């Protein structure tokens, strides 16, 4: 048999929602949204199926054993995400995208809002329908094929049924205003004071005030890690 007589490789099987969820969970990730760009028009993509991935409850224990964490590389969570999401995309037959590494930046906010699983909170931060403001998008996988995905569970933003809007009242320096803009300078100045120690160790008070955030299962150590990278001291 010559090389030209070799049978063609078997085509890769079409991914399924369950297989993607299982593979993501094993890697410490969670499928937090999905959409069909042809039906829910978004920036940068025109068809297929797009899966958005965030950190799952298993993320932090797995991450702490990773070479990125152990070797104290710069931006260890981004480095971990590039390696893990990249490998997941290759294994599943998709293309990986990341919310870091720009400019130019991949339009993750546009994708998230188009999915129907994310909304703009009164504070202008993204809020997820189950994780609240404790969502951490780590990457996305785009598949050329369309396959079935579950419908978004909510018809409208969870903020619409949250009249007290605790995300606005929780910030001690009012860095987050209804409709924006975000006063980043005031936020960082507060974190430099002793009063800001609670935010540094436990996370942004506005994020934590969201009722959905309270049930997100985020490890406090993970939150403190993100805060140290947001506001190095």
Dump pLDDT digits (tens) for 159-179. Answer: 999 999 999 999 999 999 887
User: Looking at residue 102, what is its pLDDT?
Assistant: 87
User: Looking at residue 159, what is its pLDDT?
Assistant: 96
Token pair 């960082």: residue:
188
- DSSP letter (8 states) at residue 132: B
User: Looking at residue 224, what is its pLDDT?
Assistant: 95
Cα–Cα distance for residue pair 135/119, rounded to 1 Å: 12
Tell how far CA 19 is from the center of its chain. Answer: 19
User: Looking at residue 2, what is its pLDDT?
Assistant: 47
Residues of the chain where predicted confidence (pLDDT) is lower than 50: 1-3, 8-10
Cα–Cα distance for residue pair 204/227, rounded to 1 Å: 8
| Full-model pTM | 0.91
Domain map (residue ranges) of the chain = 15-230
pLDDT digits (tens, 9 = 90+) for 41-88: 999 999 999 999 999 999 999 999 999 999 988 899 999 999 999 999
Please state whether 190 falls in left (phi above 0), alpha (psi between -120 and 50) or beta.
Answer: alpha
User: Looking at residue 1, what is its pLDDT?
Assistant: 44
Cα–Cα distance for residue pair 44/130, rounded to 1 Å: 26
Closest of 143, 89, 144, 150 to residue 115, by C-alpha: 150
H/E run at residue 187: helix 184-191
């Amino acid at each position: 048999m010559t090389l030209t007589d070799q049978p063609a490789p078997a085509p890769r099987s079409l991914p399924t929602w369950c297989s993607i969820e299982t593979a993501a969970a094993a890697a410490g990730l969670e499928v937090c949204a999905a959409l069909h760009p042809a039906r829910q028009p978004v920036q940068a993509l025109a068809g297929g199926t797009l899966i958005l991935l965030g950190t799952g409850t298993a993320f932090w224990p797995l991450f702490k054993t990773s070479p990125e964490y152990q070797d104290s590389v710069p931006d260890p969570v981004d480095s971990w995400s590039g390696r893990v999401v990249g490998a997941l995309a290759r294994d599943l037959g998709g293309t990986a995208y990341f919310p870091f590494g720009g400019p130019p930046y991949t339009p993750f906010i546009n994708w998230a809002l188009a999915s129907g699983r994310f909304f703009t909170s009164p504070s202008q931060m993204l809020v997820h329908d189950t994780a609240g403001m404790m969502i951490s998008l780590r990457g996305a996988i785009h598949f050329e094929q369309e396959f079935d995905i579950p419908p978004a569970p909510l018809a409208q933003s969870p903020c619409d049924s949250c009249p007290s809007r605790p995300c606005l009242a929780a910030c001690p320096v009012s860095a987050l205003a209804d409709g924006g803009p975000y006063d980043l300078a005031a936020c960082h100045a507060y974190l430099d004071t002793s009063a800001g120690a609670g935010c540094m160790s436990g996370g942004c008070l506005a994020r934590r005030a969201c009722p959905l955030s309270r049930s997100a299962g985020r490890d406090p150590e993970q939150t403190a890690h993100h805060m140290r990278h947001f506001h190095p001291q």
